[in-house]
Chains A and B, each alone.
Chain A
Amino acid sequence: MTLAARTWGRMSLTARLTAILLPLAVLLAVGTVVGIVFILPPTMDFLGANMPLVRFVVAVVGILVLTIPTAFVLIYMELKVIARMNLRVGPNRIGPWGAAMSLFHGFKVLSKEDFAPTGADLTVFTLAPVVTFLASVMTLLVIPFAPGIFGQDLNIGVLYFFAMGGLAVLGLLMAGWASFNKYSLLGGLRSAAQIVSYEIPLTISVVGVVLLAGTMSMNGIVLSQSGSALDWFAFKQPLAVLIFFIAATAEANRTPFDMTEADSEIVAGFATEYSGMRFGFFFFAEYVNVFIISALLVTLFFGGWTAPINWPWPYNLNWLDAAGIGILWIPIALVALVVATDILGAAIWLIGGREWSAPSAFGLGLLIAGAGVTAAVGLACFIAFDWVQGIFWFFAKTYVFVFTFVWMRGTLPRVRVDQLMGFAWKWLLPASLLNLFVTAAAIIILNQPVIPR
C-alpha cells in the first residue's frame, strides 16, 4: 500500500486526473458497446410490448420533475408582477434580475426545521401536505400540453380533474384539524366549505363544454376546438367561461377568495403551524394549482395547443427529417456557433477600442452568436414539428391566465366568508344551470353539434 501511496503522493495534478479518468473512459466505451450489442434489443422489444406502462412511468416521472420548476417560475413571476404593480421593483439581487429568488425560497424551505406543535396529531399532521401536493400534481397527468405530449389520455379526463380537486380539500382539512391551533381549525373549516360550494358550479359549467365536444377526454376536447380561434368553446360558451374562471379562483384559494389563508384574520389559516418543507409543499401546491386551473381554462375553453389563426404550418421541412440531413444538423449548428463567435468577437474587439479586452469581447460574441443560433434552430423546429408549436401556444395562453390570477392577487381585497358562500349558491349555481340548459336546448334544436363553417 505504501508504494501506491508514495507514487500517488509524488504525482502531479494532471497525472492524477489522467490516472482516474482514463480507466473510467475505457470502461464506459466497453460498457456501451456491450450494452448496444447484447442488452438493447431485448429491452427494446420488452418495452415495445407494454408501451402504455412505459408511457405512464415516463409521464409520472416527467410531471414530478416538472412541477417544482413550474412552481418556481410562478413564484418568481408573482413576486415580480405584484411588485411592479405596487410600484416597487421586486427581487433583483439574487441571480440576474432576481431570477434565483424562488430557487432560494426552495433552499430556505428545505433548510428550515419542520416541527409539529405539542398537541398535534402527528400522522395526520405530516400527511396533510403530501395529500395536498399530490392532489394538485396528479392533475397535470391528464393535461394535453401538445399533440403528442400528454401524460395519459384518459377518456374521463375532466372527471379525473374534479376528483383531484376534491382530494385537495381533504389535505387542507387534515392540516386544519391536526395542527391543534384555533386559527388553522377555522382555516380548515373555511376551506372545506368554500371548495365544496364552488366545486358544483365549476363542474356544471364544464358539462356544457363536454356536451359540445362530445367527449370527456381532454385531447378530444382540444381536437374538437382545432381550427381558428373562432372555433374555441370560449366564444360558444361565454357564460361558462366566466363561471369557470370565478369558481376556479375559489378552488385554488386565490385572492378574492383566499379565505383559508386570510393572513389578516386567521394568521396563516391551515398553514399556521407548518414550517420547513411541510410548509414548502403547501406553498408549491398553491402555485401548481394556479398553473393547473389556467392550463385547464386554456384546454377547455381556449383551444389548448391549437394556434389561434389557421396558418399553414407545420410545413414539412423534409430536409430536416431523417431523409434529409437528419441528425447531422446538430454538428452543423455547433460549427456555425463557433464561426459566428469568432467573427463577432474579433469585430467587437477591433471596433470596441480600449475598454473591450479580448476575453470579454469574445465572451460577448459567444453570447450573441449563441442567441442567434438557438433562435435559428428554434425557428426551424417550430416550423418543422407540430408538437413544438403546440407547446409554444399552450404555454403562451396558460401564462396569460396565470398573469391574470397574479394581477387579481395584486389588486383585489378579500371577500368575507358568508358573502363567498352566498355568491356561490345564489349566483354561480343558477347561472351554471342556466348555461347547461341553454347549451342542451341549442344542441337538440339544431340537431347537430354547433360548429359554424
Chain B
Amino acid sequence: MPARPTRPTTRAARAETRGETRPQEPRPPEQHRSEDDPRIMLDRDVGADLYEPIPPYPTRTEREGEFYTRGDGEMFINIGPHHPATHGVLRLVLKLSGEQIVDVDPVLGYLHRGVEKICENSDYYHVIDQVDPLEYVSSLFQEWAAVLSFEKLMDVEVPRRAEYIRVLSGELLRVASHTLYMGFLALDLGGLTPILYSFIERDEIVEMLAALTGARMLFNYFRIGGVNGDLNHEFMSRLGDWMSRAARQTEANAGLLNENEIFVRRARGVGVLDRATALRFGVTGGNLRAAGVPFDIRRAHPYSIYPELDFNVPTRLEGDSLARYLIRVDEVRESIKIIDQCLHNMPDGPVMAKLPRLLRPRPGRAWGACEGPRGMLGVYTISDGSDQPFRFRIHDPSFLNLETVPTLLPGNLLADTMTIVASLDPVLGGIDK
C-alpha cells in the first residue's frame, strides 16, 4: 500500500469502527437554558436600577460568599472585561469603599479557547502551531517550552546551530516583549508617548524576526529537533544595524520614565510582593526576582546552550512595582549582551535534526520548561504511542502572577490597580489558554 499510512482517525471514530458505538441518545426536546432556571434572577425581573455585578446565583464557595457580601459604604465596580487598561480580556470585580479597594475578585475565561483540548486532537506538528497564540506577545517561548518537552519525549538531539538560533531569536523577542511592557506600563499611568516609542522599537525587532521566521507575531518557527529555516542575509543585515543602536535607543526610551518623579512616586512602594508571598504563590520570572529570589530557569535549570553564555540575573529586593519595572530594564540589557555573544560564536552546521515525517513518540511523560519574559513557561506532555498527545498541559506564568492581584490590591487606591496589574504584566492569552 504505497499511500502514506492513513492519518489515524479520531479516537471516537476508531472506537466506532471497533463496534463500541455509544448509543446515540435522542436529542432531548427541551434544552436546559439558564434563563428558564428558576434559581437565576434575570435582569428583566430584577429591575434596571440594580446594576451590581453580584452573580445572580447562590454563592458556591466560602470565598465567593465573603467577597460578594457588601458592607456599608462599599460599592462593586467592574474593571474590564472590555476596559482600556486590562491586558486582554480580564475582568476585575473590585469592592471599593470610596476610592479605597477593599477586595478584588478576578474573573477569567473570556479568552478560553480550549487549546489543550485542540492539542489532544492534533498531531505533534500542529501542536506547535496551536501554542503560538497563547502568549501572543512572545510566542517563540511558548513554542520553545513545547519543543523542549517533545524533544525529551522523543530523545531528539538538537544540533548546536539550531540551539544558537533559538537563543538568538528568543532573546530578540524578549527585548521586544519587555519594550512593549514598558510602553503599556506608562500608558496605564497616563503617559501617551512611551507606548509609541516602544511600538516603534518592537516593530523594528518584529520585522527582523519576520525576515528570519516569516511571521511577525505567531512565528511557528521552532520544530522538534531544530528550527524551520537557517539565518539569511536580510535578517543578519537588519540585526546588524539594529544592534548598532539598540542599547542607546532602549536607554533613551527607558530614561523617559526612570527618573520621572510622577512615575516614580506612583510606582514606588505600590503593590509590594515580598519574598515569602511570592514563593508561596509560585510566582516566577521578573516578579519573583524583584522580590529578591534569583530564580531564572536559564540559570536555575539550564537548558539549550545557556550554560555557555555569560549573563547575570538582575535581582532586586524591594519587590514593588518600580522594582519590577527596573528588573525588566536590566533584563533588556542582559538580553542584548546574550544576542551579542550568540552572534560572535555562532557555529555552522545543520539547523534541523533528522526526524521521520510521522512522529510517534514512545508512551511516556515529559516536562519541558523555558524562561519566558513573564516567567517559567512549562509544558507537560503525556504520550500514549499514537501521533496525537494524550494529555498536553500548558503552564503559564501570568496565571500565577495574576493570582497575586487579590492579595496585592486591597488597601491601595483605585488608581493603583492599573500600576500593580501593569507591573505584573499578565498576558490574558496564556492565562485563559
- The chain A residues found within 8 Å of chain B, CB to CB, are 82, 85-88, 118-119, 182-183, 186, 255-256, 258-259, 262-267, 409-419
Q: Are A417 and B99 in contact (CB under 8 A)?
A: yes
Partner of A87, one of B188, B191, B196, B262: B196
Q: Are A86 and B197 in contact (CB under 8 A)?
A: yes
Can you list 11 residue pairs at the A/B interface with Cβ under 8 Å?
A82-B193, A119-B51, A182-B51, A265-B417, A410-B192, A411-B193, A414-B266, A414-B415, A415-B266, A416-B266, A419-B265
Q: Are A413 and B262 in contact (CB under 8 A)?
A: yes
| Chain A residues in 8 Å Cβ range of B196 | 86-88
Given A86-B193, A263-B84, A417–B415 Cβ distance below 8 Å? yes
Q: Does B355 contact A (CB under 8 A)?
A: no
Q: Are A413 and B189 in contact (CB under 8 A)?
A: yes
Q: Does B413 contact A (CB under 8 A)?
A: yes
Q: Does B119 contact A (CB under 8 A)?
A: no
Which partner residue on chain A sits nearest B265 by CB separation?
A419
Q: Does B418 contact A (CB under 8 A)?
A: yes
| Chain A residues in 8 Å Cβ range of B272 | none
Given A86-B197, A262-B415, A410-B192, A182–B75 Cβ distance below 8 Å? yes
Q: Are A264 and B48 in contact (CB under 8 A)?
A: no
Measured CB to CB, the closest approach of chain A to B97, in angstroms, equals 12
Q: Are A414 and B189 in contact (CB under 8 A)?
A: yes
Would you list the 4 A-B pairs with minimal beta carbon distance, nearest first? A414-B190, A86-B196, A413-B189, A264-B85
Q: Are A411 and B77 in contact (CB under 8 A)?
A: no
Which partner residue on chain A sits nearest B187 by CB separation?
A264
Q: Does B15 contact A (CB under 8 A)?
A: no
Partner of A264, one of B51, B197, B265, B418: B418
Q: Are B48 and A416 in contact (CB under 8 A)?
A: no
Q: Does B416 contact A (CB under 8 A)?
A: yes
Give the one of B51, B200, B260 with max A CB within 10 A.
Answer: B51
| Chain B residues in 8 Å Cβ range of A255 | 190
Q: Are A262 and B190 in contact (CB under 8 A)?
A: yes
| Chain A residues in 8 Å Cβ range of B99 | 186, 417-418
Q: Are A265 and B414 in contact (CB under 8 A)?
A: yes
Measured CB to CB, the closest approach of chain B to A420, in angstroms, equals 10
Q: Are A82 and B85 in contact (CB under 8 A)?
A: no
Chain B residues 331-375 with CB under 8 Å of chain A are: none
Q: Are A182 and B77 in contact (CB under 8 A)?
A: yes
Q: Does B259 contact A (CB under 8 A)?
A: no
Measured CB to CB, the closest approach of chain B to A425, in angstroms, equals 16
Given contacts A119-B48, A183-B77, A410-B193, list 7 more A-B pairs with CB under 8 A.
Answer: A264-B190, A266-B414, A410-B192, A413-B257, A414-B191, A414-B266, A416-B265
Partner of B49, one of A119, A263, A414: A119
| Chain A residues in 8 Å Cβ range of B416 | 416
Q: Are A264 and B193 in contact (CB under 8 A)?
A: no
Q: Does B83 contact A (CB under 8 A)?
A: yes
Q: Are B48 and A419 in contact (CB under 8 A)?
A: no
Given A86-B197, A182-B77, A417-B99, A267–B84 Cβ distance below 8 Å? yes
| Chain B residues in 8 Å Cβ range of A413 | 186, 189-191, 257, 260, 262-263, 266
- Size category of the binding interface on chain B: 20 to 34
Q: Are A258 and B190 in contact (CB under 8 A)?
A: yes
Given A264-B188, A411-B191, A416–B415 Cβ distance below 8 Å? yes
Which partner residue on chain A sits nearest B49 by CB separation?
A119
| Chain A residues in 8 Å Cβ range of B190 | 255, 258, 262, 264, 412-414
A182 to B79, alpha carbons, bound, how many Å? 11
A-contact bits for B69-85, CB 8 A (1 contact / 0 none): 00000010100000111
A414 to B185, alpha carbons, bound, how many Å? 12
Q: Does B309 contact A (CB under 8 A)?
A: no
Q: Are A412 and B262 in contact (CB under 8 A)?
A: yes
Q: Does B236 contact A (CB under 8 A)?
A: no
Partner of B84, one of A259, A264, A417: A264
| Chain B residues in 8 Å Cβ range of A256 | 262
Give the one of A263, A409, A413 with max B CB within 10 A.
Answer: A413
Give the one of B49, B77, B189, B257 with max A CB within 10 A.
Answer: B189
| Chain A residues in 8 Å Cβ range of B75 | 182
A-contact bits for B251-277, CB 8 A (1 contact / 0 none): 000001100101101100000000000
| Chain B residues in 8 Å Cβ range of A411 | 191, 193, 256
Chain B residues 189-205 with CB under 8 Å of chain A are: 189-193, 196-197, 200
Chain B residues 74-128 with CB under 8 Å of chain A are: 75, 77, 83-85, 99
| Chain A residues in 8 Å Cβ range of B48 | 118-119
| Chain A residues in 8 Å Cβ range of B77 | 182-183, 186
Measured CB to CB, the closest approach of chain A to B90, in angstroms, equals 14
| Chain B residues in 8 Å Cβ range of A416 | 265-266, 413, 415-416
Give the one of B85, B186, B256, B257 with max A CB within 10 A.
Answer: B85
Which partner residue on chain A sits nearest B191 by CB separation?
A413
A199 to B77, alpha carbons, bound, how many Å? 30
Measured CB to CB, the closest approach of chain A to B24, in angstroms, equals 47
Measured CB to CB, the closest approach of chain A to B172, in angstroms, equals 21
| Chain B residues in 8 Å Cβ range of A119 | 48-49, 51
A322 to B278, alpha carbons, bound, how many Å? 85
Measured CB to CB, the closest approach of chain B to A319, in angstroms, equals 53
Which partner residue on chain A sits nearest B256 by CB separation?
A411
Which partner residue on chain A sits nearest B100 by CB separation?
A418
| Chain A residues in 8 Å Cβ range of B85 | 264-265
A416 to B414, alpha carbons, bound, how many Å? 9
Partner of A412, one of B200, B260, B265, B417: B260
Q: Are B189 and A264 in contact (CB under 8 A)?
A: yes
A416 to B416, alpha carbons, bound, how many Å? 8
Measured CB to CB, the closest approach of chain B to A307, in angstroms, equals 35
A264 to B189, alpha carbons, bound, how many Å? 7
A419 to B264, alpha carbons, bound, how many Å? 12
A54 to B200, alpha carbons, bound, how many Å? 56
A227 to B341, alpha carbons, bound, how many Å? 66
A119 to B43, alpha carbons, bound, how many Å? 14
A7 to B83, alpha carbons, bound, how many Å? 67
A255 to B414, alpha carbons, bound, how many Å? 18
Measured CB to CB, the closest approach of chain A to B237, in angstroms, equals 23
A263 to B188, alpha carbons, bound, how many Å? 9
Q: Are A418 and B262 in contact (CB under 8 A)?
A: no
A119 to B50, alpha carbons, bound, how many Å? 10
Partner of B192, one of A259, A409, A415: A409
| Chain A residues in 8 Å Cβ range of B256 | 411
| Chain A residues in 8 Å Cβ range of B262 | 256, 412-415
Chain B residues 167-224 with CB under 8 Å of chain A are: 186-193, 196-197, 200
A118 to B47, alpha carbons, bound, how many Å? 11
Measured CB to CB, the closest approach of chain B to A407, in angstroms, equals 10
Partner of A418, one of B187, B191, B257, B413: B413
Which partner residue on chain A sits nearest B50 by CB separation?
A119
Chain B residues 57-79 with CB under 8 Å of chain A are: 75, 77
Q: Are A265 and B415 in contact (CB under 8 A)?
A: yes
Measured CB to CB, the closest approach of chain A to B409, in angstroms, equals 13
| Chain A residues in 8 Å Cβ range of B83 | 267
Which partner residue on chain A sits nearest B188 by CB separation?
A264
A412 to B262, alpha carbons, bound, how many Å? 8
